[in-house]
Structures are given as structure tokens and as C-alpha cells.
Amino acid sequence: MDKRVFIIVLDGFGMGSLPDAVFFGDEGANTLRSVSRSSYFYVPVMQSLGLFNIEGADILEKAKNPSAAFARMAEKSAGKDTTVGHWEIAGLISDTPMPTFPNGFPRSLIDEFESQVGRGVLCNKPYSGTEVLKDFGEEHIKTGKLIVYTSADSVFQIAAHEEIVPPDELYVLCKKARELLIGEYAVGRVIARPFLGSAGAFVRTSNRHDFSLAPPGDTLLDLLRSAGYETIGVGKIYDIFTGKGLSDSIPARSNADGMSVTSVLLQREFYGLAFVNLVEFDMLYGHRKDVNGFAKALAEFDVWLGGFLKGMKDNDVLFITADHGCDPGYAVSTDHTREYVPLLICGKTVKPGINLKTRRSFADISATVLDYFDVANSIGGESFAGEVFV
């Protein structure tokens, strides 16, 4: 029972469009290639682990003797968002896409929402999260109406100025929306988007909160917890899984916060899984088309990673991966991109230099973790434990 696994998800860090990306409007997207063109891109630790040895990652020099096992993974689920990506990493494959609303939400649904919350609605269209504040922020302040918008993802987002609708009140409104959004309207996430500032200088705050659908079945978290292991979520993991299967949850509002919490967990005595999401790659840099910001964030993670690896115990295993792409250099849209994601597996029990090539599903991670803990797999994925563990 002295084994520990850390899964760190670099939110939005894709590495090349999937064969079916054309059906998602994402043909040619490649997050890794875009950020590698920045002068701030410097990831020697991940390079030494084997990041550029992965199939399709022929961007910088390969490591001659990579110290990790490595692969690229295709997404099997019908989607490209945070919810289905994390669910698939945890073994739950979504065969049916979650509903999206390219023309906004039906008037009947908006009418019911307005009736329940006692406020009107502005926008009700797919929109960039920053542009929607420029176009509707002033009217929101004058009228108190809520800015409701969506994207190419399955989301119902509510933006409100914190001085007009305090975050705690906004969360209550989001919960009411979550209760309404069922059946054919069952979006993956309702997202609270608080902001501050004045016209021309509106800024989203760190008080974002996601209200996700509950996973429709068991995941890696449920199976490990039932077997007596601890399951700790860091960052928005609790939101993505609605707490299902977690024994503990530690919030994190930024990459730096998430990395700090994970370093503390490395020193903490626990046995089981720490599942970590680092959200800023996607939230601050991918969607906002900030190539340099994305590259800087990867460089900061890489520095932190070097110290983390030195602190790992004998039976610790680290999986570094992503949940989808969010290519900041892709001119077609500001949305998530349907891409392969990288996988690096590190630890003293991991055979270095093992090339796992291209995996058919993110769920291979959960199958492998369950094998590592000697827990029967009743969910998805194909384990590669026999190939990578000593």
C-alpha cells in the first residue's frame, strides 16, 4: 500500500491534430509546434524525459537516452473539452458528444432561467470570454442583466461584475442553471465567470468556478477509493468529477498554486493517487492566443518539474499529460483543438526510454494506474504496465 501516483494534466497542451480533427474544424492545429516557435520556449527537463522522442513531436532534438517512458495519445471520446478529456484519462469514454449551441440557447430555456434567477440575460451567443466583456460589460453594469454565452464547447457561461453580482451569489445562479440544464440541454459545464474593472479595462478574476455534470459511471477515482487508496484532487479536478470518487480535494487558482500544492503533497504521507490540473495553459494563454505566455508557462512548469523529480520516493510514479489541445497559434478559432496529447511516465519503477508509440485512448492511463495498484479494471483503456514497470 506504499505506492503513490501523480497525474499532472497540462490543460490544453496538445501536440498535433488527430485524424478526425477535420470534423471538429481543427485540421492542422498543433499546440506544441506553435508554442515551440516562441523565444520563451525552453523545456530541457521534459526534453530529457523524452518529450521530443514522442511520435509526431519532431520539433526539437530528441533525447539520446530519455529518462522516462513516453507516448502520444489519441482521444477516443466524442469531444475535445476539459470534462470528457479528464473523464477519459480516468477511464470513462464518452461515446456521445455533449450538446453544443452554436446559435445560442433556446429562448424557452433562457426564459425559464431568467424567471428562476430574477435577472435578465445579455448576449446568448458563442463568444470569446474577453470580447464578451468588451461588448456587454457596460450594459451589464447599467442593467444588472447577466452575460450568458457559450463556445464551441459544451458550456453555459455566466459572466458578472463582482460589484454587481458578488461571486457567492453568482455561484448560486450557476447552480440554478445547472439544475435546468438536463436532458437535451445537459452541457458539460456551467461556468461562473466573475470580472472586475470598468469599460475598456474589464478583467476576469480568479473566482471562476465550474459546475460540471456528474460522471455517468465509475472512474479510476471510484475504483481506487473502493480499494482503500486515497484519491486527492488538485485544482479543478473536484469540479470536473463533481467530487465523485475523491477522498480529498485541494483548490488551486493558478499554475503556481497547483504546483505548490503538489510539492506539498510530495512531502505528505499518503498512499494512492494525486490528480492535478494546471489550468492556466488553456485558460490564460490558449484561448487568448498568447503564444509567448503559453511558452513561458511551460518553461516555469519545466523548472518546477526538475525539483519535483528529485523529491520523488522509490514507489512514486508521475504521469504528465493533457486533456485536449488549445493551440494559441491556430488562426481559425479561439476554442479547444482536437489533438493528440503527450504522455511522459517517470519514476524509479519505470523503465527509461520505452516508446509506447501512439495509444488509442487517454483511458490507457487509468488502466495502467489500476494495474500498478493491483486493482481490477472494470472501466476503459488498455494497460501498458507490463511494458513500462520494472
Question: Which pLDDT score, from 0 to 100, does residue 332 have?
Answer: 86
Residue that finishes a domain, picked among 158, 190, 212: 212
Cβ partners under 8 Å of residue 22, min gap 6:
none
Question: Which pLDDT score, from 0 to 100, does residue 1 have?
Answer: 65
Residue type, 113: F
What pLDDT, in 10s, does the model give residues 255-267?
999 999 999 999 9
In a domain, 152, yes or no: yes
In a domain, 252, yes or no: yes
Residue 267 φ/ψ, nearest 5 degrees = -90, -15
The segments of the chain whose pLDDT lies below 70 read 1
Rounded to an integer, what distance in angstroms lies between the CA atom of residue 350 and that of residue 317? 8
Residue type, 333: S
Question: Which pLDDT score, from 0 to 100, does residue 325 have?
Answer: 98
Residue 242 near residue 285, CB atoms below 8 Å: no
Question: Which pLDDT score, from 0 to 100, does residue 333 have?
Answer: 83
Residues 197 and 335 in one domain: no
DSSP character at residue 26: -
In a domain, 201, yes or no: yes
Number of domains in the chain: 2
Rounded to an integer, what distance in angstroms lies between the CA atom of residue 245 and that of residue 86? 13
What pLDDT, in 10s, does the model give residues 361-384?
999 999 999 999 999 999 999 999
Residues 381 and 354 in one domain: yes
What CATH number did the domain enclosing 339 receive? 3.40.720.10
In a domain, 269, yes or no: yes
What CATH number did the domain enclosing 198 receive? 3.30.70.1250
Residues 193 and 255 in one domain: no
- Range of the structural domain that residue 156 is part of: 107-212
Residue that finishes a domain, picked among 155, 182, 212: 212
Within 10 A of 371 (CB to CB), how many other CB atoms are there?
16
